[in-house]
A and B are shown apart, each in its own frame.
Chain A
Amino acid sequence: MPCPKMARLIAVPAALAFFALTSRPSAALSYTRHVLSNGVIVLVAEQRAVPMVVIQGLIEAGSRRDPIGKEGLASLTADLLTEGAGTRSAADLSRELDFLGARIETSAETDYAVASLVTLSRQLDRALALFVDVLTRPSFPATEVQRRREAALAAIRAEQDNPGALAQRKFLEVVFGNTPYGHPPIGSAEHVPRLERKDVVDFYQQYYRPNGTILAITGDVNSADILRRLEEALAHWTAREVEPFRYPEVLPSSERIAVIEKPLTQANLVVGHRGVARNNPDFYALTVMNFILGGGGFTSRLVESVRVQGGLAYSVGSFFTANQFPGTFQVSLQTKTASLADALSRVCREVARIRSQLVSEEEIENAKLYLTGSFPLRLDSNSKVAAFLAQVEFFGLGPNFVEEYLNRIRAVTREDVQRVAQTYLKPEDLRLVVVGAVDAASLPQPSPCPPSSNVP
């Protein structure tokens, strides 16, 4: 950490969120799907190359389930799973895991909570017992609740030194308002202090349930053996019903441009609006469109205009966060304060251009070759395969997802790209957040991309 390597491009974290959903399995990927008697869905891919086992657990207990006024509860609950479980205190759990050389990590995303285990296969028995305790027998000691709450508040405070995180937080608020995707899972300085142990226990009781849980297992395991062990180890965990999640209506915010003033050398910019759900039939055409616009590594139009031609930013890209319910479309970049207007107008121009003109034959061909050809790269490790399988199951993408993905990407035409650009990119709806030493009065009004800039 002290001495970071300088890479040619930092991966835009949010862009990974997009690609995580579009991960491409190799046609050779084989796995089995099972449902335990209490409803846990188990996916197993045996891969014996490395003597290790990975379990990726997804629980329908993400931050979208946070009650209004208790934002941050799902995240606090997930954090606390490892802070005391079964007969073990937090410190005991940590020592045992470290002694085994195994790792259990828990966190809350928007749609789901994640609980993962990585262990050497020869320690699987002991590590699995700890994992089952963490998932099904957390004890939520009062002192730990208080400690993790303080830690969450400190992390929120530390965001003040991370302009990208600040911009993202404000952008979610502007786009989603008070609705479930409108806050980062960690919650806010206003709401986290209100979270009590009782809230955590209630949240856990309500949403952590076997029939809302997916376990994707890869590595050096025998499928029949691990299923038998899980059936036994999870037998005490009984199925419960819960009100299905419904996304409330989002009222468009009147705030089109928001500035957070900070004494920085760069303006950190996020511009975008509401996006699509993962099950949108246009998802594949949007994937190709976004690749050409700003998703495609070093060759996208945004990189070409803002970085290669303009020299204005180190990192620039666009992405859709395709969650179970419509997420965001956004473009983000950082540029020296004096270049903000230039960079923003280039973004506006590219958004307008992909709507008004067909992309070239070469561009669509390149995008499709990359999106289909890079399939095997997404699945070259146990960790990647486990994460991929869990997502395929969570989003209901089906057992033939691999083939379907490849076929549907190949079928996208230039006209499809223009149609989805016109349908899902809405210059008149764009919201802009800037963090930096910027005077709000100097920004274009009333909209980040005024119609005059929409001339390709």
Chain B
Amino acid sequence: MRWRPAVWLWFVWLCAAPTWASAASYQERVREHQLANGLKVLLLEEHKAPVVVFQVWYRVGSRNEELGKTGLSHLLEHLMFKGTEKRGPEEYSRIIQRNGGNENAFTDSDNTTYFATLASDRIEVVLDLESDRMVNLRFGEDQFRPEHQVVIEERRLRTEDNPAAALFELLAATAYVAHPYGWPIIGWMDDLRQATREDALAYYRLHYAPNNAFLVMVGDFDSQQMIAAVEHWFGPLPRGAEPPKVRAVEPEQKGERRALLRRPAELPFVAIVHHVPNLKHPDAPALEVLSAILAEGKSSRLYERLVYRKRLARSAGAQYDYTQHDPGLFTLYAQPMPGKSAAELERALLAEVRELQQQPVSARELEKAKNTLEAGFLLAQDSLFYQALLLGQYEIADRWQRIDDYVPAIRAVTAQDVQRVARQYLAADNRTVATLEPLPLPPGKRVESGLPAGPLH
């Protein structure tokens, strides 16, 4: 890399500067409370705005599903808005809205999370609604049928008609042979089509209970009062049976795997994954730093070299699944510039991997990567929602207290650590490569639109 003298001095000065200012630790700021029925509550007071973010995290996601019934976690997430014994369909949303709140939910491989943001004086509304639907969900076939179709439309929108998303789906399915992370969170289309109301309700009864969930609240409240309110609304709920544990373990990969997706698309795409440990393993911080060296900011290696200097890629990136419950993937991906091929991009991505395996990164580049990660961690605290999300993700993956280890662990990573994890985990035998090969659009292939031909009057 070429550095100008002025810049060089600049960096020397910065490197010598004392460590970064950081806010008080999460362990000092978060209060944890456990109800007798097993429900855990994490409370973080943050009085900068008269707002509270409420999240309920269920420890169930696509990871807990089985083949033939994939997508049930996410389908159930949609159905959770269809009413309870005392509330009608969509009433949850209407009540939150009347109180000036926003609500939504998301499903991931390890969790299903429902959230609402409200002015602090309205927070009890959501405690009432969430405690109700934690155990009293009720909906009929009339509500199930259209919502089922909505989820199928969601899959069409997100995956069927999105070439890159379809490629990532195929990639995960190729990289995992035994673990449920191999199937898509939204589920395979045919599984989705066959899902029934009874499937969803059985899944609900199996996984939704106070002892398989926890609450996260961040914002403008008094923790003592909030604990009392949570005890009032959630305390009476009965503890449920322990849901079955996921036993699947992905066996060690021995040899590169490849997948090819040929479908109509404008531009090719290439993505490469490697099996890696998560934050429970001591190598996690080095993998996190490795991902920043590759892809954090416009001076990262993939951007600066593949996008900027060589003009091979329209976009390029890396992702490390730091907070997944079971070991996840380290991903490299790139979309070629028009006229460049997926094969060229694959070679360029793997050349970057090789360089990291063969040469230790410089002290400056290592420091820069750590700085981007630490600043990103601190700047994200601007958002109440993000802080709640962070607590939830760590609690799902391991324990929320481990958030405080993040910055010190990142700071402790050495150039040798980065080189070692690049060699150990980004090895060819641990690799799966997926390529999207665009096919030209088939001429004149049309589907009946349901519209009558000719003028409508």
Which of B146-154, B239-247, B343-351 has 4 or more CB atoms under 8 Å from chain A? B146-154
Q: Establish whether residues B149 and A1, one from each chain, have CB atoms under 8 Å apart when the complex forms.
A: no
Residues on B with beta carbons closer than 8 Å to the beta carbon of A381: 49, 382-384
B456's partner among A98, A299, A452 (CB-CB below 8 A) is A452
Q: Establish whether residues B372 and A98, one from each chain, have CB atoms under 8 Å apart when the complex forms.
A: yes
Question: What is the CA–CA distance of A5 and B114 in the complex, to the nearest angstrom?
Answer: 13
Instruction: Output the least CB separation between B146 and chain A (Å).
Output: 3
Residues on B with beta carbons closer than 8 Å to the beta carbon of A102: 375
Q: A99-B11, A439-B449 are in contact. Are A2 and B97 (CB under 8 A)?
A: no
Q: A311-B146, A372-B100, A382-B382 are in contact. Are A101 and B314 (CB under 8 A)?
A: no
Question: What is the CA–CA distance of A248 and B358 in the complex, to the nearest angstrom?
Answer: 61
**Could you tell me which residues of chain B, from 146 to 167, have a CB within 8 Å of some CB in chain A?**
146-151, 153-154, 156-158, 160-165
Q: A337-B449, A442-B452 are in contact. Are A6 and B149 (CB under 8 A)?
A: no
Q: A336-B153, A373-B100 are in contact. Are A2 and B171 (CB under 8 A)?
A: yes
Q: A52-B382, A311-B145, A446-B455 are in contact. Are A340 and B449 (CB under 8 A)?
A: yes
B236 proximal to A (CB < 8 A): no
Q: Establish whether residues A267 and B449, one from each chain, have CB atoms under 8 Å apart when the complex forms.
A: yes
**Could you tell me which residues of chain B, from 101 to 123, have a CB within 8 Å of some CB in chain A?**
101-109, 117-119, 122
Q: Establish whether residues B450 and A376, one from each chain, have CB atoms under 8 Å apart when the complex forms.
A: no
A314 proximal to B (CB < 8 A): yes
Q: Which residue of B lies closest to A344 (CB)?
A: B451
Which of B32-40, B251-259, B260-268, B278-286 has 4 or more CB atoms under 8 Å from chain A? B260-268
Q: Establish whether residues A92 and B368, one from each chain, have CB atoms under 8 Å apart when the complex forms.
A: no
Q: A2-B333, A265-B160, A311-B146 are in contact. Are A297 and B102 (CB under 8 A)?
A: yes
Q: Establish whether residues A94 and B297, one from each chain, have CB atoms under 8 Å apart when the complex forms.
A: yes
B165's partner among A4, A96, A261, A383 (CB-CB below 8 A) is A4
Q: Which residue of B lies closest to A434 (CB)?
A: B449
Question: What is the CA–CA distance of A261 and B164 in the complex, to the nearest angstrom?
Answer: 20
B311 proximal to A (CB < 8 A): yes
Instruction: Output the least CB separation between B363 and chain A (Å).
Output: 12
Instruction: Output the least CB separation between A306 and chain B (Å).
Output: 10
A16 proximal to B (CB < 8 A): no
A281 proximal to B (CB < 8 A): no
Main secondary structure of the interface of B (DSSP, over half): mixed
Q: Establish whether residues B267 and A100, one from each chain, have CB atoms under 8 Å apart when the complex forms.
A: no
Which of A106-114, A149-157, A229-237, A272-280 has 4 or more CB atoms under 8 Å from chain B? A149-157
B51's partner among A153, A307, A376 (CB-CB below 8 A) is A376
Residues on B with beta carbons closer than 8 Å to the beta carbon of A441: 453-454
Question: What is the CA–CA distance of A199 and B331 in the complex, to the nearest angstrom?
Answer: 40
Question: What is the CA–CA distance of A157 and B337 in the complex, to the nearest angstrom?
Answer: 10
Instruction: Output the least CB separation between A247 and chain B (Å).
Output: 34
A411 proximal to B (CB < 8 A): no
A68 proximal to B (CB < 8 A): no
B74 proximal to A (CB < 8 A): yes
Residues on A with beta carbons closer than 8 Å to the beta carbon of B51: 376-377, 380
A26 proximal to B (CB < 8 A): yes
B445 proximal to A (CB < 8 A): yes
Question: What is the CA–CA distance of A154 and B456 in the complex, to the nearest angstrom?
Answer: 40
Instruction: Output the least CB separation between A149 and chain B (Å).
Output: 12
Q: Establish whether residues B378 and A51, one from each chain, have CB atoms under 8 Å apart when the complex forms.
A: yes
Q: Mark A83-106, 1 if CB is under 8 A from B, else 0.
A: 000011011101111111110000
Question: What is the CA–CA distance of A266 and B454 in the complex, to the nearest angstrom?
Answer: 21
B352 proximal to A (CB < 8 A): no
Residues on B with beta carbons closer than 8 Å to the beta carbon of A304: 90
Residues on A with beta carbons closer than 8 Å to the beta carbon of B299: 91, 94-95, 97-98
Instruction: Output the least CB separation between A19 and chain B (Å).
Output: 11
B4 proximal to A (CB < 8 A): yes
B193 proximal to A (CB < 8 A): no
Which of A158-166, A238-246, A397-405 has 4 or more CB atoms under 8 Å from chain B? A158-166
A341 proximal to B (CB < 8 A): yes
Q: Which residue of B lies closest to A448 (CB)?
A: B456
A9 proximal to B (CB < 8 A): yes
A7's partner among B14, B106, B311 (CB-CB below 8 A) is B106
Instruction: Output the least CB separation between B391 and chain A (Å).
Output: 16
Residues on A with beta carbons closer than 8 Å to the beta carbon of B94: 299, 366
Known pairs A95-B3, A120-B20, A443-B449; list 15 more (Cβ under 8 Å).
A5-B106, A6-B108, A7-B104, A50-B48, A82-B298, A99-B14, A147-B308, A266-B153, A311-B147, A313-B153, A336-B156, A338-B448, A373-B99, A382-B382, A383-B382
What are 22 A-B interface contacts by the 8 Å CB criterion? A2-B333, A5-B108, A6-B185, A28-B50, A50-B379, A51-B21, A94-B303, A99-B14, A100-B371, A263-B441, A296-B97, A298-B90, A309-B146, A311-B145, A315-B157, A339-B450, A366-B94, A372-B100, A373-B100, A377-B100, A380-B117, A439-B446
Residues of B near any A CB (own CB < 8 A): 2-4, 6-7, 10-11, 14, 20-21, 23, 46-51, 74, 77-78, 81, 89-90, 93-94, 97-109, 117-119, 122, 145-151, 153-154, 156-158, 160-165, 168, 171-172, 185-186, 219, 264-267, 271, 273, 296-300, 303-304, 308, 311, 314, 317, 319, 321, 329, 331, 333, 335, 337-338, 367-368, 371-372, 374-376, 378-379, 381-384, 441-442, 445-457
Residues of A near any B CB (own CB < 8 A): 1-10, 26, 28, 47, 49-52, 54, 82, 87-88, 90-92, 94-102, 118-120, 122-123, 147, 150-151, 153-155, 157-158, 160-161, 163, 261-267, 296-299, 304, 307-315, 334-342, 344, 365-366, 369-370, 372-377, 379-383, 437-439, 441-446, 450-453
